[in-house]
Amino acid sequence: MQTRNRIFDDLAKVANSAAGTMVGLKDEVENMVRYRMERFMSDMNMVHREEFDAVRAMAAKARTEHAALEKRIEELETKLDRLAPKARPRKKTTSARKSTKK
């Protein structure tokens, strides 16, 4: 013989409803926090991760190109020093013009 107790059934229904309500509440809190954080970050003029990664990649490429160009300049200066005859360094001359009054 099986007996059913209505109190336990009612408690089970209340517990299921409470669990569903807590899941909904959790989702709502997460959405509110996400919204507030996005708004805070946009007010602070922070960049998005994608933009930061793009600029970092551009900077790394620029550093690599800069190093390659420095090496090339050094090689060209070395070649120039070997090809050019040894001469005294030239002095920079500036010609100053005197203005005449009429």
* Domain contains 67: yes
* Domain contains 14: yes
pLDDT at 2: 46
* Domain contains 55: yes
Residues 13 and 39 in one domain: yes
Q: How many CA atoms lie within 13 A of 63 on its CB side?
A: 6
pLDDT at 71: 97
CA 45 to CA 51: how far, in whole Å? 12
Q: How is residue 95 written in tokens?
A: 């010609």
Q: What is the pLDDT of residues 31-88, one digit of tens each?
A: 999 999 888 888 888 788 999 999 999 999 999 999 999 999 999 999 998 987 665 5
Please check the confidence at residue 93 and state whether its pLDDT lies above 50. yes
* Domain contains 64: yes
Structural domain range at position 69: 48-83
Residues 69 and 58 in one domain: yes
Residues 38 and 54 in one domain: no
Number of folded domains that form the chain: 2
Residues 42 and 52 in one domain: no
Torsion from C-alpha of 69, 70, 74, 76, nearest 10 degrees: 20
- Kind and range of the H or E element at 99? none
pTM: 0.42
Residues 12 and 41 in one domain: yes
Please check the confidence at residue 17 and state whether its pLDDT lies above 90. no
pLDDT at 61: 98
Question: What mean pLDDT is predicted for residues 13-36?
Answer: 88
- CB contact burial 52-85 (16+ within 10 A = b; e otherwise): eeeeeeeeeeeeeeeeeeeeeeeeeeeeeeeeee
Q: Could you say which DSSP state residue 44 is in?
A: T
